[in-house]
Amino acid sequence: MTRMPLLKVLVMGVAGCGKSTVAAGLAQELGAQLIEGDEHHPRSNQEKMLNGIALQDADRAPWLDKLGALLAAAPASAVLTCSALKRSYRDRLRAAEPALRIVYVEISLAEAHRRVTSRPHHFFPPGLVASQFASLEVPTGEPGVLRVAGNDPPAIQIRKILNWLGRRVTQRQGST
């Protein structure tokens, strides 16, 4: 039996793009550990966002370092969710995990705002969606990046990602 090589995958994009849903499904398909980036924000970052204050590079640096360490320390395949809006943030994660594969979930500002508005119990308020688009450096031309449409159903996104990663689609995913 051939053992599949370990994969470390970042699912990135602005708030509301669906990265958590896609990452959870992808992790399940790969039998990988899921690292939900939002769960690792320091309380100070959560409080800033709850108060409608956009995070700055200095706020994100310790968070990115922690996520990179968690990804690198994962003993098996792992899927990380993180907005990773700027190339410098993605490069910081690549420094921790050089073989990192990145999936960029692309979505429009209007759709992201609509989705974030529909999740009232999240610490990220709709008023900050525009700031994410202002900070976003689309990963065009970066190595090891796949762009998927955030408006596609998650099953289709996951199928595209698995194909890109050279992994077989299981029956539960393949039937959709």
What is the identity of the amino acid at 3?
Answer: R
Residue 70 counted as domain residue: yes
Average pLDDT over residues 41-50: 87
Average pLDDT over residues 98-126: 87
**Residue 63, domain CATH:** 3.40.50.300
Residue 103 counted as domain residue: yes
pLDDT given at position 18: 94
CA neighbor of 134 nearest in space, from 93, 88, 87, 86:
86
CB neighbour list of residue 134: distance below 8 Å, 6 or more residues apart:
none
Residue 176 counted as domain residue: no
Residue 158 counted as domain residue: yes
Three-class secondary structure of residue 29 per DSSP: helix
The span from the CA of 37 to the CA of 81, in Å, is 5
Task: Using a pLDDT cut of 90, give the percent of the chain over it.
Answer: 70
pLDDT 10s digits, 54-89: 888 999 999 999 999 999 999 999 999 999 999 999
Three-class secondary structure of residue 10 per DSSP: strand
Residue 3 counted as domain residue: no
The span from the CA of 39 to the CA of 54, in Å, is 17
pLDDT surpasses 80 at 122? no
Give residue 67's domain range. 8-171
Q: How confident is the model at residue 171 (pLDDT cuts 50, 70, 90)?
A: very low
β strands within 90-140, DSSP E: 101-106
pLDDT given at position 110: 93
β strands within 18-158, DSSP E: 33-36, 78-81, 101-106, 145-149
Residue 13 counted as domain residue: yes
Read off the pTM.
0.89
Residue 1 counted as domain residue: no
pLDDT surpasses 70 at 172? no
Work out how many domains the chain is built from and give that number: 1
